[in-house]
A and B are shown apart, each in its own frame.
Chain A
Amino acid sequence: MNFEALPAEEFLDEAQELLQEIEDSLLLLEEEPSSYEVIQRLFRSAHTLKGGAAMVGLIDLANEAHEFEAILSKLRSGTLKSSPQIISALLKGRDNLLSLLNPLMSSSPNNSSSNVQKKPTDLSPDESSIEELTPLNRSSMPQSNTYLIHLKFDPACLELGQEPMMLLRQLEQFGELTVIAHTSDFPNWSDFDPVRLYLWWSIKLVSNKPLDEVDPLLEFYRGEQSEFLIEAIETPEENEQEVQQAHQNMLAQISAKDEKIDYSEPSQNPELMEVDVLELPKTSQTIRVPVSRLDRLQNLVSETVIRQARLLRLNDAIQATDDQLGEQFLQFVEDNEQAVRELQDQIQQVRMVPVGTIFAPMKRVVRDFANRRQKQIKLDIYGAETELDKTITEQIQGPLMHLLRNAMDHGMETPSDRIDAGKSPTGTITLQASQQQGFVIVEIADDGRGLDPQKILEAGRRLGMVATDHQPSEQEVLQLIFQPGFTTTTEVTETSGRGVGMDAVKRDIEALLGNIEVSSQLGKGTALKLKLPLSLAIIEGMLVRVGKEMFVLPLLLVTETLRPLPNQQKRYKNQGELIDIRGQYLPLVRLHQRLKIEGAIDKPEEGLLIVVQQGTQKYCLLVDSIEDQLPVVIKSLEEHFVHIPGIAGATILGDGSVCFILDVAAILN
């Protein structure tokens, strides 16, 4: 095996997660400076990162992680007290680790190593800042410690991909090793299994490292079936006899332990078991799977859903020719339907990740922004455990970050302004996720100054987006912020105001077949609400007919359907046709006109109206009829063609024909 090879992808994934954990923990530590538990968690994350980096041969990263860990170890032992400066330095250190990692994420295997080699120069300023903060320097601990280590790996560890030699090599880096390999467990050759490990080791290590650096290394390799013991011998001078004696004692202890533990009845020796439980790391109940494999699985399930629809079609034909056979077939199709639904639910579940994964980095963004801009902002997160498809989660990260920056930069007042307005000097941004009727709602709200409809309207008129003779409603005014090129400010700040604005956010959300709504109260704050489908692969759709053509509307956007009476139809000048629905006047949009389809129903009272939500505004879409409501598998048109305006994607119906999913937002614009 070649351990100098490129870092395993799994490690890169894991490292990213660890760095996120580290960041989360650091921010938490800032809130609870004396929490031993948080420090302990930090230490563990840093340690795992170090071990992993060393294992895949990223020595620079491992060394840097080691420095990081050394500071944490001081926090843990209490020689260093946590303070905002220390947290800042540690956050910087964490960013350094990330910067070492980043070049590896996308680069090809060939240049990855050279990238890493280049990095240490960038690191030096930060390293020095960390050094300043550490009253105890690493090198000021010259005394050597002697450890006796007993290593008995899980006999199946080789099969599990562990490499005992790696640990020995890493121990060797700590100091001088004396190793005895025990062969007493070797079976007869006839019973020899080449993938089992029969060797175990007793090691004497003379090192200047403290126990809490050596021990975690063992921790990294510890498995359920392994027995690792480490004991520090107090006397730094080498007293051979004493060491030998300790060694004997330890071996005796091990064999005694072997005898005492009865694995089948753990309750017999509660004390010993307790110790054992503490030593065992939690066995992982999860496995890592590349997303591409899930995508593939999702595609197969999607195909199955389509075939199921075809089976249902076939059933009609069979029923018509042979009653009895049809009956049997129907039974089969219905059973299969259940299984397919279940399969679809399960794969959807597997692809779900908690939205908290993208909320977490935002704490840091808020902290840094508030510090830099002398604002006091608190970020409250609710519903971080709400689950959403992984791809959607990734794709809303950018838009959400944009909304967050807007809230911090434009929404939030300075502490003095807030006090003048009679508010608490600390502003609160609330990030909230929840699941509602098969959709996910993500809301970001601030208690800042709110949107000023007057200013927005003025800007809208100035930019020619609102006709001078038109007096729009407040909702219409708020919608202006989603117009391309809309801006009220002329000033550009570091975080926002560069002109790529809410229109981009809106487009991104609509590309996911979602919806974005804004609400605001002047002086009280602004809220943006994203409504998202649970999955990108299969959505609930409404199959409608326009003329002879069929289309799918995303059910997420449909609020109601109705056939209007002639007296519900109104016409106002400048505003086109409106439909009166319980006193609400909604614009009428003839789908056949927008899509240029001939031979469709033109009179609303003869067709059907589908009321759809578009942003905060509702519209009535005229269609000939509703044919079905069904889960539709989304196929991208871009894969083999180009994006077509007004069409969000395609799906395949039960008869095998292609049907388009309408992009309602684009059609209405």
Chain B
Amino acid sequence: MANTKTPQPGLAKRESAPADPDLWIRMYQQMVQIRLFEEQVNDLYKTARMPGLAHLYSGEEAVAVGVCNALRRDDYITSTHRGHGHCLAKGASLDRMFAELLGKAPGYCRGKGGSMHIADQDTGNLGANAIVGGSAGIATGAAMSAKMRGADQVTVCFFGDGALGQGVLYEVMNMASLWKLPVIYVCENNLYNEYTHYTETTAGELTARAKAFGIHAETVDGQDVRGVYEEARQAVNRARQGEGPTFLLCDTYRYYGHHVGDIQRTYYRAKEEEDFWRTERDPIKLLAGWLVEQQVSDTVTLDQMMADVRAEVAAAVEFALAAPFPDVSEVDQHVYA
């Protein structure tokens, strides 16, 4: 298995980002929220209380949180099968998220979508997508729509390294560049196309693919939420000012398997690799360390925040477990508008 580069522990040294302590604290809370949400999802699966499977976002929180904090509520995102983090970072509520994962009536899609299809137009979430690369067209079309309507909305298309194998992505990147569409392609490279290291499937330099279309491309440490936020902010500014698309390659890692049932993983990645990322490259620990170091916060306060979020998550899952299933008569509703 050929790693093209060796990840380094900790954060790279760089200039402190603009001082807005509230913003960093909010991002810490959001990352913790996603982490604890996913732990609860895993628990629901393991205790057979959740139908189907889920693809957990744990380890990648800094990407969704850094990017979505650079967006307005009326900006759009499209998400992936590993989408819980994107939905929450864009503003979805924990209780309705859990309800959707359990197929319950108060879920975001009335239980019709499930884990891989959460959409919430109130927060600009045009939907998670279970076809790898499947939302590239939707995101680019939403950006085109914003431009045609004279709105200044920006669209972020989240996808993973696996989507780099899908042709439609390149078709729409070509058009986005030609027509200077306000879209940001956020590639979350968590190293694995399902169970296969991306270097076994993906030739050349990843950002070169975007640059070939004349798209501004950047690589960012996807475990550093401040760095992700800063790059996303610049990309959003470019998009809003009519300067066209950006490709943001975020180097990150998926703590769990491809999905919750992917337990035996040593045939495709080493336990030591997982341990390294969890201990040395964890986005929540890295931000917490920086917050304490910069005296923005302290460990007691941060621990209390985590406890508060844990209580919110517990309440939300209780809500979802107690919520009713949709009436069976709803099965053929919403096929047509």
A binds B: no
Interface residues of A (CB under 8 A from B): none
